[in-house]
């Protein structure tokens, strides 16, 4: 989370509601990425409700999406968890899909990707230019990665942690998603996809921006994937 005071409480509430229904040993890890609004205060209030079921890590400064993700992964590894799910706190990916991840996990796969581009998956109200860039980028990723899946850039996914114990992520921005895919390919991970309906934020602004460095990093991992 980064400056998510408008959705922080609702996000925690909905995710905790979903994981409370699971028979698995599950905890919610929230990374506050240097927020300067009321996000951390809201999280501390939620902590009083959920106790040890909710783990909060607060960075002193904003390190970026990739930095927050790698911190969360390291916390999960130290906690002895077998899998982790990553999702944005803006609720554009519905928490109800968590149960579908767990079902797929029981099929003994290494990475379960929530996909907008399989049957029953789609996007809702996403601006046309973003849809076009996403479709073009994912078509390229299919060619370069060759993993038999259709959605490479969605950050909503589940991964077996043992495959990442020796990985030191470099990317601080959203390109960590493809960096992670690159390492998983090198480890010969088994992939499967579940349908996902992605929507746009309703109560807050997105922190994602298409920048030259984002495009450079994305294409960098496409080429690296050819030799993984």
Q: What is the pLDDT of residue 203?
A: 62
Pick from 181, 218, 197: nearest CA to 97: 197
Both tokens of 13, joined, read 């509430």
Q: What is the pLDDT of residue 179?
A: 97
Q: What is the pLDDT of residue 146?
A: 96
Band (pLDDT 50/70/90 cuts) for residue 12 is very high
Percent of the chain with pLDDT strictly greater than 90: 84
Alpha-carbon span 223 to 228, nearest angstrom:
9
Alpha-carbon span 145 to 184, nearest angstrom:
11
Band (pLDDT 50/70/90 cuts) for residue 100 is very high
What b/e sequence results for 189-213 when a residue is b if at least 16 CB atoms lie within 10 Å of its CB, and e otherwise? bebbbbbbbbeeeeeeeebeeeeee
The per-residue pLDDT of the chain, averaged, comes to 93
Both tokens of 129, joined, read 């230019």
**Helix residue ranges per DSSP H, 51-127:** 65-78, 98-105
Domains delineated in the chain = 8-226 (3.90.550.10)
Say if residues 141 and 161 touch (Cβ distance below 8 Å).
Answer: no
What b/e sequence results for 7-43 when a residue is b if at least 16 CB atoms lie within 10 Å of its CB, and e otherwise? bbbebbeebbebbeeeeeebebbbbbbbbeeebbebb
Sheet strands (E) in 79-212: 83-86, 111-115, 122-123, 157-160, 191-195, 197-198
Q: What is the pLDDT of residue 204?
A: 55
Q: What is the pLDDT of residue 209?
A: 67
Say if residues 37 and 6 touch (Cβ distance below 8 Å).
Answer: no
Alpha-carbon span 180 to 114, nearest angstrom:
15
Alpha-carbon span 57 to 85, nearest angstrom:
16
Q: What is the pLDDT of residues 163-222, one digit of tens each?
A: 999 999 999 999 999 999 999 999 999 999 999 998 876 665 666 666 888 889 899 999
Q: What is the pLDDT of residue 126?
A: 84
The whole-model pTM stands at 0.92
Say if residues 56 and 43 touch (Cβ distance below 8 Å).
Answer: yes
Q: What is the pLDDT of residues 21-50, one digit of tens each?
A: 999 999 999 999 999 999 999 999 999 999
Q: What is the pLDDT of residue 33?
A: 97
Alpha-carbon span 158 to 26, nearest angstrom:
13
Pick from 91, 88, 73: nearest CA to 160: 73
Average pLDDT value for residue range 53-61: 96
């Amino acid at each position: 989370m980064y400056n998510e005071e408008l959705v922080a409480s609702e996000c925690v509430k909905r995710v905790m509601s979903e994981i409370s229904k699971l028979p698995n040993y599950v905890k919610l890890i929230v990374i506050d990425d240097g927020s300067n609004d009321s996000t951390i205060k809201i999280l501390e209030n939620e902590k009083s409700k959920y106790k040890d079921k909710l783990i909060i890590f607060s960075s002193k400064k904003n390190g970026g999406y990739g930095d927050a993700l790698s911190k969360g992964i390291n916390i999960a590894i130290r906690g002895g968890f077998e899998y982790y799910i990553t999702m944005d706190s803006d609720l554009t990916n519905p928490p109800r899909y968590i149960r579908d991840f767990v079902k797929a996990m029981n099929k003994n796969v290494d990475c379960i990707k929530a996909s907008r581009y399989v049957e029953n998956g789609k996007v809702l109200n996403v601006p046309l230019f973003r849809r076009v860039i996403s479709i073009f980028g994912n078509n390229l990723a299919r060619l370069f990665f060759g993993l038999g899946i259709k959605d490479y850039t969605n950050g909503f996914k589940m991964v077996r942690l043992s495959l990442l114990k020796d990985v030191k992520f470099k990317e601080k921005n959203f390109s960590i998603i493809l960096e992670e895919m690159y390492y998983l390919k090198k480890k010969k991970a088994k992939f499967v996809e579940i349908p996902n309906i992605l929507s746009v934020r309703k109560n807050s602004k997105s922190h994602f921006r298409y920048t030259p460095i984002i495009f450079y990093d994305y294409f960098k991992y496409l080429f690296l994937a050819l030799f993984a």
